């Protein structure tokens, strides 16, 4: 195996896979309407959580509702870069908000930093949150876990990719 990790604009990933420039794309399952011509294997289900600084009153809660989040300043990912279910939830929360109550970030890392600094709350798949940050991770009522996995064209004749898929599924 000779891994080559690439960071490219999100919308180009599946085109690279179709053109066989990459063997696999690891990420969240896309909705069916996106018509990705590849095989998808789930590695794990990832909960979507609300994160906030420990001093935020929500930090003491066992779970939060969408209504609870409407009263908070929001730290959101650029909708084009957010996982589809998260982007939809963000859309529900933004409506009617003054611009001063919403921070848009280019990356999950930036959202984590702003949440840790106390600028507001963020909604992210738990996979994006480093384990050793001082943040509360609060489940969101009614929000299902999202599927994280690997897209590929074929495992046939590609022993390293087949082995990678096997490792990911066993250790997901």
Domains 10-43+146-171 and 48-139 are alike in CATH topology: yes
Helix, strand, coil percentages (3-state) for the chain, rounded to 5, are 35, 25, 40
Per-residue pLDDT of 42-62, as tens digits, reads 999 999 999 999 999 999 999
The CATH classification number of 48-139 equals 3.40.190.10
Ranges of each domain in the chain:
10-43+146-171, 48-139
pLDDT at 22: 86
What is the distance between the alpha carbons of residues 172 and 162, in angstroms, rounded to a whole number? 15
Per-residue pLDDT of 57-95, as tens digits, reads 999 999 999 999 988 999 999 888 888 888 889 998 998
Average pLDDT, integer, range 132-148: 93
pLDDT at 10: 64
Q: How many CB atoms lie within 10 A of CB 157?
A: 7
Measured in degrees and rounded to the nearest 5, phi and psi for residue 78 equal -50, 125
Per-residue pLDDT of 13-32, as tens digits, reads 888 888 888 899 888 998 87
Q: Was domain 10-43+146-171 assigned CATH 3.40.190.10?
A: yes
pLDDT at 7: 65
Q: Where are the beta strands (DSSP E) in the chain?
A: 24-28, 39-46, 48-52, 74-77, 102-105, 121-125, 136-139, 146-152
The single-letter DSSP state of residue 88 is H
Per-residue pLDDT of 160-169, as tens digits, reads 999 998 998 8
Q: pTM for this structure?
A: 0.83
The share of the chain scoring above pLDDT 70, in percent, equals 93
Q: Where are the beta strands (DSSP E) in 30-141?
A: 39-46, 48-52, 74-77, 102-105, 121-125, 136-139
pLDDT at residue 141 tops 80: yes
């Amino acid at each position: 195996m000779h891994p080559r990790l690439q960071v490219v604009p999100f919308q180009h990933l599946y085109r690279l896979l179709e053109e066989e420039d990459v063997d696999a794309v690891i990420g969240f399952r896309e909705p069916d309407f996106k018509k990705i011509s590849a095989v998808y294997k789930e590695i794990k289900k990832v909960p979507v959580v609300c994160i906030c600084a420990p001093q935020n009153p929500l930090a003491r809660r066992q779970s939060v509702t969408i209504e609870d989040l409407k009263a908070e300043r929001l730290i959101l990912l650029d909708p084009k870069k957010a996982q589809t279910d998260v982007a939809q939830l963000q859309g529900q929360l933004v409506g009617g908000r003054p611009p001063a109550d919403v921070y848009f970030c280019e990356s999950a890392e930036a959202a984590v930093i702003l949440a840790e600094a106390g600028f507001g709350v963020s909604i992210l798949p738990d996979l994006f949150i480093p384990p050793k940050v001082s943040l509360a991770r609060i489940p969101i009522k009614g929000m299902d876990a999202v599927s994280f996995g690997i897209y590929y064209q074929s495992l046939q004749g590609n022993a390293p990719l087949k082995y990678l898929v096997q490792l990911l599924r066993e250790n997901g």
